[in-house]
Chains A and B, each alone.
Chain A
């Protein structure tokens, strides 16, 4: 183990593993350009840009996209407020029931999504709450809180208490300290957490199927196309679009928190 070179077998295994992780997505891009609109035929008989035009003119796609963006925006906002509050409370406090609060935070992602979905649905049923924009938001915000919380608490742990004390010693009031010391320190972590929450909500399908009623978010639209395809290449175009839209915030979030390892482990 003295040498600094990885054993060849392991290197090959790692490269194969990475290929396995990345090659499949290439097919989505390839199929978005196929001239063939019925089957899954590989290789595609020809390539065309037409499907982008067709997808652009589909009102149902725009409606689903609109709902998804609005839900993700509101759910992210709720998650950012609640996740930050929870992180600030938990970062240094030791109190009875602390473990329970932590468990409550991670439970929505540790339990399978279908459990969260059906639990919320049956609760809406018992309370006779009709499905609406807000029932979707409630579901999404619930599992987004932990993402914001993870990012915020990681940053807060690194923000030394001494700089807060220094701020007080220099005569700043609590509000000034929050505004000029804590918030700027927390800002990028919150932004990163918010973007991850947005991406998570934008992509969520399992919980959504239970809380959406008849409404169609973009993932719900995709799921219905997967099961009963109408124009397969349009689905491919939308898939490419979704892929790009979710990746941009992820990459930005990564940049914002680079070197602070606070994105890691915030699994879906």
Chain B
């Protein structure tokens, strides 16, 4: 057994496959664990800890003594609740829109496309998913601007009144699409749709065709089969996709900054508080909101079986 005597990193790696001893697993995990455990989780804990310090109002320096005053400040300001609710409402609306747009595409990919067509569709979904976030935001800035393409199209088709009416709506409207919730909602939806398509497609892929045939044989109309078989089985996929659409909307601060009105979103407050205002404790308290929401979301998603669809 010369094999057992061999040393060196390669030998260790190879042996890990041969006999999974606890020690080898630990050795393999050591570096990733040190990185993620200390650098990442450590930073997260340090951030959470910061919310229990407070900023001295007069000197503007952080006083490193445990206090609840930052939390009191965060919870007692009604405007903060508005920011949280606004962000969550946008995240929910975007998630819903993504699910509606993604479903037909995922359905086409999973049920009807074959061979080369399927590969093509897959690439067509993956390209926008992976192409540059900023380039996409930038493209929309060009499209939504007052002098941009959308206004032009509405003007050419004589529907400019319709656009003006939409922009005139309270809350969602604004001076132009590029500075309104409507525009922001559109771009958020555009950005995250691919994150919804892939898990839904994966879930639909796993629906056995025999089940659909059985449903038809038992006399169900296509509509009934769709509502009672396909949709429930695709649901974990939708939940899995919504993890991304929800989290990404909730934390984004660039899009609300580039496209959107002056009313703030959670991400922006975190950014402004730690940067311009220098109030890291308050920024930390704000960032607890997305962490808690995502913890809750992941726990529910897990129960709904979404993790198998990831």
Contact = CB atoms under 8 A, between A and B. Distances in A.
Interface string A223-266: 10011000000011001001100110011001000100001110
Contact of A111 (B125, B251, B254, B284): B251
B80 interface: no
B18 A226 contact: no
B44 interface: yes
Nearest to B4: A174
B104 A182 contact: no
Contact of A110 (B135, B147, B216, B294): B294
A101 B112 CA distance: 38
Interface of B is mostly: helix
Interface string A10-54: 110110011011101101100100000001111100000000000
Contacts of A120: 39-40, 43
Interface string B177-212: 000000000000010011100110010000000001
A40 B138 CA distance: 11
B32 A17 contact: no
B126 A174 contact: no
B148 interface: yes
Nearest to A105: B36
A251 B131 CA distance: 11
A122 B152 contact: no
B32 A115 contact: no
Interface stretch (B6-14, B67-75, B157-165, B166-174): B6-14
Nearest to A91: B17
A217 B284 CA distance: 26
A90 B60 CA distance: 47
B28 A85 contact: yes
Interface string B104-127: 110110011000000101111111
B135 A25 contact: yes
B283 interface: yes
A116 to B, nearest CB: 7
Nearest to A161: B17
Interface in B23-75: 25, 28-29, 31-33, 35-37, 39-44, 46-47, 50
5 contacts: A21-B193, A42-B147, A118-B287, A265-B310, A268-B129
User: When A and B form their complex, which 8 residue pairs have the shortest distance between CB atoms, in order from nearest?
Assistant: A112-B251, A174-B14, A40-B145, A178-B14, A89-B28, A13-B104, A123-B43, A119-B43
Interface of A: 1-2, 4-7, 10-11, 13-14, 17-18, 20-22, 24-25, 27-28, 31, 39-43, 78, 81-83, 85-86, 88-90, 92-93, 95, 101, 104-105, 107-108, 110-116, 118-123, 125-126, 138, 141-142, 145, 161, 164-165, 168, 173-175, 177-179, 182, 196, 199, 203, 205-206, 209-210, 219, 222-223, 226-227, 235-236, 239, 242-243, 246-247, 250-251, 254, 258, 263-265, 267-268
Interface of B: 2-3, 6, 8, 10-18, 20, 22, 25, 28-29, 31-33, 35-37, 39-44, 46-47, 50, 101-102, 104-105, 107-108, 111-112, 119, 121-143, 145-149, 151-152, 190, 193-195, 198-199, 202, 212-213, 215-216, 222, 225-226, 243-244, 247-248, 250-254, 257-258, 267, 270-271, 274, 280, 283-284, 287, 290-291, 294, 298, 310
